[in-house]
Amino acid sequence: MKKKFDKKRIYAVITEKFCLNGSSINTLKDVLKAGVKIVQLREKNMNRDKLIKLAIKYRKLTIHYGAIFIVNDFPDIAYMVKADGVHLGQDDMSVEEVRAKYPELIIGISTHCMKEAALAMKRGADYINIGPIFRTKTKDISKYKQIGCFKLKKIADKITIPFTVMGGIKTSNIRKVSAAGAEIFAMITEITMAENIGGRIAAINKTIGAAEAQNLYLTNF
C-alpha cells in the first residue's frame, strides 16, 4: 500500500556535492538521526549504476528510521529499489505515465507558477513543490525565476493537495515563508552544509513551531 504523503515539516533533499562532510550517506544518517521523516535523493548527473547502489543504501536506512524515501527524476530506479516515491521535473515523464507504470509510487512534481501547479493537481500528483521561492545555487535561476512570498501566497491559497516549498529556504526566512502558507519546507544546503546537522535541524524545527504558533494566533485574533 502506498504511504501517505503528509505534513512532515522538513523535507530534506540530499545531493552529495552539496554535503559539507563530502558523504551523501553520512549526511543521510545525521538527517535521519535528527528525526527527519522524508528524504529525497537528488543526483541528476550521477552514473546510473552508482546511483542505484546509493539508492539501495538510502532505502535500507530510511526503512530503519521509518522515513519516506523519494528518488528525484528516475521513477524506474525508485521502483527498482522499492522507494516510496519519485519527484519529477517539468521535463521528466508525465504524472500519467508514471502512474500507469508504477501505481504504488508517491508522485511529486516541481512547479514554478500557478499554471503548472494547477496542471499537476489535475494530472493527479500526490504533492507538488513550489519554487524557487528565493535565489538559490542549486537550481537554474536563469530558467526559473524566484517566486517570492507574495506569489507563493496566491498559489498556496488555491492548492488542494500537499505541497512543499524550496529554493533558498533558510532558518532565517522560515517565518516569512510560513506566513505565506507553507507547511512543508524542502531544503538542501541549509541542512547538508551545516557543521552540526542535528543542531541545525533542531533549530529549524523550533523556528517552524514558532511560526506555526504565530500563524495560529493571528488567525484566531
Q: Give a yes or no: residue 1 inside a domain.
A: no
- Dihedrals phi, psi of 85, to nearest 5 degrees: -165, 180
- Dihedrals phi, psi of 42, to nearest 5 degrees: -120, 95
CA dist 72 and 81 (Å) reads: 13
Is residue 70 within 8 A of residue 85, CB to CB? The reply is yes
Q: Give a yes or no: residue 99 inside a domain.
A: yes
Q: Which three cell numbers stand for residue 28?
A: 543521510
23 is catalytic: no
Q: Give a yes or no: residue 151 inside a domain.
A: yes
Looking at the DSSP assignment, which residues form a beta bridge with residue 41? 14, 71
* Catalytic residue, candidates 42, 59, 99, 200: 42
Q: Which three cell numbers stand for residue 109?
A: 512534481
The β-bridge relationship of strands 163-165 and 85-88 is: unpaired
pLDDT at 211: 92
pLDDT at 13: 98
Q: Give a yes or no: residue 15 inside a domain.
A: yes
Q: Give a yes or no: residue 75 inside a domain.
A: yes
42 is catalytic: yes
169-175 CB contacts, 8 Å cutoff, 24+ apart = 169/133, 169/134, 171/200, 171/203, 171/204, 171/207, 173/134, 174/204, 174/207, 174/208, 174/211, 175/207, 175/210, 175/211, 175/214
Domains in the chain: how many in total? 1
pLDDT at 35: 97
Q: Give a yes or no: residue 4 inside a domain.
A: no
Q: Give a yes or no: residue 3 inside a domain.
A: no
Domain region containing 43? 10-220
Q: Give a yes or no: residue 39 inside a domain.
A: yes
CATH number at residue 113: 3.20.20.70
* Catalytic residue, candidates 59, 99, 139, 200: 139
pLDDT at 2: 65
**How many Cβ atoms from other residues are within 10 Å of residue 147's Cβ?**
22
* Catalytic residue, candidates 8, 24, 59, 110: 110
Is residue 161 within 8 A of residue 191, CB to CB? The reply is no
Is residue 5 within 8 A of residue 37, CB to CB? The reply is no
Q: Would you give per-residue pLDDT tens digits along the chain (221 residues)?
A: 567 777 679 999 999 999 999 999 999 999 999 999 999 999 999 999 999 999 999 999 999 999 999 999 999 999 999 999 999 999 999 999 999 999 999 999 999 999 999 999 999 999 999 999 998 876 655 577 899 999 999 999 999 999 999 999 999 999 999 999 999 999 999 999 999 999 999 999 999 999 988 876 556 55
Selection from 198, 136, 139, 145 nearest residue 173 by Cα:
136
pTM for the predicted model, two decimal places: 0.94
2 is catalytic: no
Selection from 35, 42, 37 nearest residue 13 by Cα:
42
